[in-house]
A and B are shown apart, each in its own frame.
Chain A
């Protein structure tokens, strides 16, 4: 579980996060939604310890990040996996090299143990014949799968994903969403996903935080989000014509 208590983050004079508090539970896919520029990535990077908030606390299963020593912080980070928006695969390494990298850096496993683990996670993300390809030689959807494999290879307690399905076609996007959702449940991970994709919200939004201008505007589940009266949320949720129509039909049916 991750508890976030009133965090603030500014760059120079611009105040980006203006006091966000929430809780992310274990074994659940937690979604952060909001328009581009609403501070989702900055929020996620605070959770990852890449940015340090000027004010507020973040606790990981009770451990306050800012109170840990540098080496304890490094240990905690090894319990985190991250899937970046652009995948952020090391382009000088093969698919296999990318996934194996954290193992070679941080474990004393033998070559064959590492190879087994790599084969296992690559199979888990449904990638079987790309081991020796380079990131530039595979599709965006496959790159995302490799990024997920790399993020879970160390068996993390916390998994963070920044817009995991941006740049993917809707069908692949749903496959990736479901993959993350299954992995979260299977390994009982605390997962936090940034997205602005309403498909993700409907499919896997067990808990949703709506960010607007650096504030938490609303929080709830994917069942609640379609019924809320909060105007900022409905504006965002029903921004597409398709969803507007669906809502219209829903209201007509109710009356």
Chain B
């Protein structure tokens, strides 16, 4: 079981770091530039750029946007790997041996995804760093203004809120694709279809749960 969990951590979490860092960095940068370009009134302080970057990255871009990407990357991997095991009778083989196949296949994935909030923490840092880089090197803001904005009216609960969301999304990303793979019928073509449907459902559920959690925790 331990080796299974380590394998899933490698597959689901570690192998996703590259794309998450890449996306977070550039999204943070874009938020920073967009904010800068929209400040036309000279009365608005320049530290708004850092402030806006921090708020959008911590509240939405890191937890929610990243999770939608993960629903595509990790979710379709989960559905297709479990679905392939279903159509090639590997799941039947487990059952014959007396292995509880659902537990054997899904449980390690859920445990591995418990590390997901760390991924989101990294996404937050990188996103803000991307914003700072774009703001400072693009000539939109001074480093001091940006950092001042980052520290302005900081509410620690926003980070907690974000991690709560990350935890819930992690469970959604581990379970919904697993069930789509596990209960699928048919052949190789259906595995592809199941991956697509699973991505759609995972995203829809993330978006709705995001709305509900935001209402409950911040509303």
B89 and A80 contacting across the interface, CB-CB below 8 Å: no
- At the interface, yes or no: B152 with Cβ under 8 Å from chain A? no
Q: Which size bracket describes the interface of A in this complex?
A: 20 to 34
A85–B93 alpha-carbon span in the complex (Å): 11
A 67-118 contacts with B by CB, 8 A: 74-75, 77-78, 80-82, 84-86, 88-91, 101-102, 105-106
A84 vs B90: C-alpha distance when bound (angstroms)? 9
- Which residues of A sit under 8 angstroms from B92, Cβ to Cβ? 45, 50, 82, 84, 88
Does residue A48 face the partner (Cβ distance < 8 Å to B)? yes
Q: Which of A85, A86, A89, A106 lies in contact with B97, CB distance below 8 A?
A: A106
Is there contact, CB below 8 Å, between A106 and B93?
Answer: no
Q: Would you list which residues of chain B between 168 and 194 have a CB under 8 Å from chain A?
A: none
| A105 neighbours in B (Cβ, 8 Å) | 97-99
Q: How far does the alpha carbon of A108 sit from the alpha carbon of B95 in the complex, in Å?
A: 20
**A78 / chain B contacts, CB cutoff of 8 Å:** 97-98
Chain B residues bordering chain A, tally (CB within 8 A) = 12
Query: Cβ of B44 < 8 Å from any Cβ of A?
Result: no
B43 lies within 8 A of chain A by Cβ: no
Residues in chain A near residue B85, CB distance under 8 A? 90
Shortest beta-carbon distance, B112 to chain A, in Å? 15
| 9 A-B residue pairings within 8 Å (CB atoms) | A48-B96, A50-B95, A84-B89, A85-B89, A88-B90, A88-B92, A90-B90, A101-B97, A105-B99
Pick from A74, A80, A84, A88 the residue with the most CB of B within 10 Å. Answer: A88
Known: A82-B93, A88-B93. A77 touches B98 (CB 8 A): yes
Question: For chain B, what secondary structure do more than half of its interface residues adopt (helix, strand, loop), or is it mixed?
Answer: helix
Per CB-CB distance, the 6 closest pairs between chain A and chain B, nearest first, are: A88-B89, A88-B93, A74-B98, A84-B89, A77-B98, A82-B96
B97 touches A77 (CB 8 A): yes
Whether B214 sits at the interface, judged by CB under 8 Å, is no
Which residues of A have CB within 8 Å of B96? 48, 50, 77, 80-82
Closest chain-B Cβ to A152's Cβ sits at a distance in Å of: 13
Complex CA gap A77/B95 in Å reads 9
- B95: chain A residues within 8 A (beta carbon): 50, 77
Q: What CA separation (Å) do A50 and B97 show in the bound complex?
A: 11
Does B88 interact with chain A (Cβ within 8 Å)?
yes
B3 to chain A, nearest CB (A): 10
Give Cα distance in the complex from A90 to B81, angstroms: 11
Give the complex CA separation of A102 and B96 in angstroms.
10
CB-nearest residue of chain B relative to A105? Answer: B99
Measured CA separation A74–B43 after assembly (Å): 74
- On whether the beta carbons of B98 and A84 are closer than 8 Å, the reply is no
Please report the C-alpha to C-alpha distance between residue A74 and residue B95 in the assembled complex, in whole angstroms. Answer: 9
Complex: A81 Cα to B98 Cα, angstroms: 11
B90 / chain A contacts, CB cutoff of 8 Å: 88-91
The answer to whether A86 and B98 touch across the interface, beta carbons within 8 angstroms, is no
A84 contact set on B, CB distance < 8 A: 89, 92-93
Contacts of B88 in A (CB 8 A): 86, 88, 91
